[in-house]
Amino acid sequence: MADAAKAEAALMQGDPAMMEALVEQLMSPQNDARQGAENSFQKMKDHVPEICVAGLVRVLTQSQQADSRTFCAVLLRKVLTKDDPKLWPKLNEEHQAHVRRELLGCIQNEPMRSITKKICDTVSELAAVTMETNGWPELLPFLSQAVQSGEPRRTEAALLVFAQLSGHMMPTLLQFMGTLHQVLHAALGHESADVRLAAMRATTSFILCLESQSDRDKFQAMTPLMLAGIGKALNAQEETSAQEALEMFIEIAEAHPRFLRRQLAEVVAAMLQIAGAEALDDATRQLAAEFLVTLCEARDKAPGMMRKLPTFAEAIFRIMLSFLLDIEDEEDWHRADSDRHEADGEGELYEFGQECLDRLALSLGGNTLMPLAAKCLPGLMADSDWKQRHAALICLAQIAEGCVKAMLRHLDSLVSMCIQGLQDQNPHVRWAACQAIGQMCTDLGPQLQEQQHAAVLPGLMAVMDDFSAPRVQAHASAAVVNFSENCEQELLPPYLDTLISKLLTLLQKGQRLVQEGALTAMASVADCAKAAFERYYDTVMPLLRSALTAQGVDKQQALLRAKAMECISLVGMAVGKERFRGDAHEVMKFMKAYQDQDQSQLESDDPMNGYMLQAGARICKVLGQDFLPYMDIVMPPLLRAAQLKPDVNIMSGSDGEDDFEDSNDDEVETIYLGDRRIQIRTSVLEDKSTACNMLCCYADELKQGFLPWVQQVTQIMVPLLKFYFHEDVRIAAVQSLPELLRSAVLAVENRLTQDASMPAQLLDFVWPPLLEALHKEPDVEVLVSMLTSVEEILGVAGPELLGQERLGQALRELGEVIRNSEERRTERGERTAAEDFDEEEAEALEEENEAEEEVLDGVSAVISVALRKWGDVAFPFVDPLMPAIGQLLTGPGRTNGERRIGVCVMDDLLEHSPAGGAQYLPQIIPILLQFAQHKDNDLRQSAVYGLGVAAQHRRDAFRPVAAQASNILSAVVSDREARSEDANMCTDNAVCALGKVLEFHSDVADGKLLGSVWLPQLPLEADEAEASVAHEQLVRLVEASDPRILGDANSNLASILRVFVAVLARRTDLASETTLRRMVTLVQQMRTALPPQVFEGLVGQMTPKQQATLQSVLAEASAQN
């Protein structure tokens, strides 16, 4: 003990030998020795920081051990610039000067290049720290001297420091840019490969960090030299150096793609040559291709630039196809007892080629890639080499997402190619055909399913029969899943007998992967077929129950049982509560027993828990309130999963490669943010997302029955509004909030709780964080969900619970949302001015505009519910938004969607706010009249609806235009395309509006149009809301014996009776209960008041089906009386 104390005292006093020994112990693989050294080192940092730093510097400069010098270079950087607190500020000026001096001396004298590079890292970061205080006046003169010293090692070191300094002190370096240009120009041509590479690193760093385009452009002359450096490295077979240089080109392509425009043709040609050079390492070829694909993806900064290069698209497309040939036939791939071998035989180029084809399709677009596919793929399909045929089909699968519109124009030929693949002798090709069909069903559905079901489903079912190729069987089932998930319900019944029979055969006789695939396919088919699946229930369910409850299930069979759980729940949803109730009870008993068993006996990655989370929510949806007794089973694991902490590791980008543990784990995603690398275990995030979604489902389904969990779930969800690691978690959290509030409100209304203040307390807790999250949300899709949540909360809470102040907070926040939307719109507009902007880019931009319109639709919905619930109280908060809404209506370059949103806001203002309507009616009426004649159906629909609102609610102001409006509306409903599928909703709105104009303004509009134009358009069926209004109006006019509707000598009675019967046949779909009762009364009055032969004559003009409906209605009415 005395010796240890003595040694520690010597260490604290700066004994050189003790310090070197400490460094060696800090590197020790022995935990005890290293732990003791770490404790001693921490004491030095805490109590004698000057001695600690001086000791590290001494070891760095004097130790004979390279490992010790390497370790000290890294450790110095950490303690001086990274630790909290940093040691640098604790040093006095004398010690700081000593450190700076010694570090520069190390750069000059260190014999090992690898250590010198780490010292350069330390110098660069220390320079960044010293900028906050007195700076480092000796540094730039030292670097200037070193870079021009003529000594390669010193020149390289200086360039490496310059490269890192660019990110910290660019304003200072700009003063020396002229000299730096000359130095870099010379260094890029240096005979030393290390100097050339360091010069490229420095040049790249300057290009990346310079904010001014004109300053960046001064480095244009360096590009050919950098490109030549790659060529020299490759010619010297120094591919590692070439790869580093290629990575720098990728960085430039990501940050400033237009910088490369002047030499684009030369750079692209060189990169294509490298990517296509089979003699080079795969990694080198991939980096060259990555650079090219990155340039294609730079749509926001250089839209269309790469499409303008002659022959480029075909060249890169063919190279990617050649990458897909990097695959071999491995024996284990053919087995289907495990998913471990699915990627056997696939080389790195194959995987990379798949990824790049997907990215190229999304960036270059279908109009560019589909002609190339049509040119290249048929030849590959005719090739005798199975790899070529396999590549063609995999290519189709990869480009589908980015080529949707173009591929939909060639469905026949594309599906024919896939069917050819399904019939191929080679199982790899058949597998690829299943892959292509599945992906196209996802990306091109439901059109593909509608047009090609007669080819696709029989083709997939035929493949299921081949038990010699189990992996292909399993993949055919997967393709059926893709088909079913995007398929209209009525398409499946003709195939169900055969399809379910084959799936049951696979389930009973197939290998494990085949069985799993069959279960998933069965579940998806049931979900799509719904009630049509009921006839198979008695056959399917016992097998599923047997798979679920099988005894002695090992790890290999665990997923099969989990998928059985999934399938049972989806089959239950298909057949409904009455049929499923008994089996649902048994499944929930199994779920409880499974959770009650010793969890330590289960595998850590047991899939059943995740599947049970989702199955429980589906069963709840089937059983509704009858599920409440099972909530104690499902809630504990759900709450645990929803509270999972993200498994995140954040590293500084300046950490050496030795400090960065790269992961090949598929469940780990690495994100680069500035100079930081963030590793996230995605499996944890997916489990958390699933749990949050399921909690939202339970709250939605159970309403007030969810009350016991409302407070706890709210406490979990609110913090997740800022869970920026995962968008789906934020979406689930925000979607849950209205449901939780609704549960509390309904519980109070139904007296399920004595705490009447619970909804108000819940709103107090939820509202401020929701608005704050809305303000900060960076993702447009999540933003739309947040706006929807605000809208629903306004609707649930109403004026009584929410109050005027909070309403104002929400509506003021909308102003910020609109401003941000306008900024994004401006950015998109700037892209249209780019010299390379083309039709393909315009199509992509249109999709972005549609996504932005969803944000504005969300804004409109919030305003709508505010006006509907608060009326004129909301108008002072809405009024400041009106200039922005006016821009949507009349601003230059506005889309029809934006105009429609503006009109919808005006419609709500006219309908629900007398003060707002009076203020804005003179401005909006001309716009409504104009847009009521627009060719866009959605815009026209919103305008004609507004005319109806104005006619009913703003009668005096509307009267001067009533005749003009009635003529416009008559033309709309009489148009030959009025009842087309696209125009049907608009026409219903126009009919309803015309009825209001004719009823409320008969003094100026031609009232006879009620009988001649309006009545023949009834009944309305496309827009049920407008139908209810119009049919109530008809009843009201008939009750009043209005001659305009009855016609001369009651000539319209037959038409009126037919409308009544059609509406009564649909019950509450097309009219309220009150309106339906009034209709029945009118029909009874007709039968009583009219002579029997007249009434029978009216009935005789109906179809037999209409007559039967009428008889049923009258009989039911008589029975009730």
If we measure between CA atoms, which residue out of 154, 167, 244 comes closest to residue 210? Answer: 167
Average pLDDT over residues 155-165: 90
Q: How confident is the model at residue 172 (pLDDT cuts 50, 70, 90)?
A: confident
- What are 681's two structure tokens? 């275990």
Query: 996 Cβ partners below 8 Å, 6+ apart?
Result: 948, 951, 952, 1033
Query: What average pLDDT does the chain have?
Result: 90
Q: Cα(985)–Cα(1021) distance, rounded to whole angstroms? A: 9
Q: Render pLDDT for 319-357 as a digit per residue (tens, 0 to 9).
A: 999 999 999 999 989 887 777 888 899 999 999 999 999
Q: Cα(386)–Cα(428) distance, rounded to whole angstroms? A: 8
- What is the predicted pLDDT for the residue at 656? 44
- What are 861's two structure tokens? 């919905």
| Number of Cβ atoms within 10 Å of the Cβ of 601 | 7
- Terminus-to-terminus CA distance in the chain, angstroms? 106
Q: Are 270 and 227 in contact (CB under 8 A)?
A: yes
Q: Render pLDDT for 609-650 as a digit per residue (tens, 0 to 9).
A: 888 889 999 999 999 999 999 999 999 999 999 998 887 776
Q: Which long-range contacts (CB under 8 A, 24 or more apart) does 53-58 make?
A: 53/79, 53/80, 53/87, 53/91, 53/95, 53/99, 54/14, 54/95, 54/98, 55/14, 55/16, 55/19, 55/22, 56/19, 56/23, 57/98, 57/99, 57/102, 57/103, 58/16, 58/19
Strand order in the sheet with 668-673: 648-652, 676-681, 668-673
What 3 state SS string does 101-116 have?
HHHHHHHHHCCCHHHH
Indicate the burial class of 754 (C-beta count within 10 angstroms; 0-12, 13-18, 19 or more). exposed
Q: Are 363 and 297 in contact (CB under 8 A)?
A: yes
| Number of Cβ atoms within 10 Å of the Cβ of 808 | 15
Q: Cα(457)–Cα(463) distance, rounded to whole angstroms? A: 10
C-alpha pair distances (Å), 148 with each of 144, 151, 154, 205, 860? 6, 8, 9, 19, 64
Angle between helix 193-209 and 222-235 (nearest 10): 140
Q: Are 472 and 466 in contact (CB under 8 A)?
A: yes
Q: Render pLDDT for 488-534 as a digit per residue (tens, 0 to 9).
A: 999 999 999 999 999 999 999 999 899 999 999 999 999 999 999 99
Q: Render pLDDT for 545-568 as a digit per residue (tens, 0 to 9).
A: 988 887 655 666 788 888 999 999
Q: How far is CA 638 from the centre of its chain?
A: 23
If we measure between CA atoms, which residue out of 431, 354, 332, 359 comes closest to residue 390? Answer: 431
Q: Residue 1017 pLDDT more than 70? A: yes
If we measure between CA atoms, which residue out of 665, 328, 333, 346 comes closest to residue 513? Answer: 333
Q: Are 293 and 360 in contact (CB under 8 A)?
A: yes
**Would you say the pTM of this structure is higher than 0.95?**
no
- What is the predicted pLDDT for the residue at 1109? 87
If we measure between CA atoms, which residue out of 342, 333, 413 comes closest to residue 381? Answer: 413
Q: Cα(1099)–Cα(1078) distance, rounded to whole angstroms? A: 19
Q: How far is CA 656 from the centre of its chain?
A: 33
* Residue matched to tokens 């190229």: 360
Residue type at 93 in one-letter notation: E
Q: Are 528 and 570 in contact (CB under 8 A)?
A: no
Angle between helix 239-255 and 222-235 (nearest 10): 150
Q: Render pLDDT for 459-469 as a digit per residue (tens, 0 to 9).
A: 999 999 999 99
What 3 state SS string does 380-421 have?
HHCCCCHHHHHHHHHHHHHHCHHHHHHHHCCHHHHHHHHHHH
- What is the predicted pLDDT for the residue at 504? 95
- What is the predicted pLDDT for the residue at 551? 64
DSSP 82: I
Q: Render pLDDT for 76-134 as a digit per residue (tens, 0 to 9).
A: 999 898 888 888 889 898 998 999 999 999 988 889 989 999 999 999 988 888 876 67
C-alpha pair distances (Å), 723 with each of 315, 717, 727, 731, 735? 42, 10, 8, 10, 14
- What is the predicted pLDDT for the residue at 663? 46
Average pLDDT over residues 381-409: 96
Q: Which residues of 257-293 are buried (b: 16+ CB within 10 A; e: fewer)?
A: bbbbbebbeebbebbbebbbeeebeeebbbbbbbbbb
Please count the helices (runs of H) and the strands (runs of E) in the chain: 54, 3
Query: 874 Cβ partners below 8 Å, 6+ apart?
Result: 807, 811, 866, 867, 913
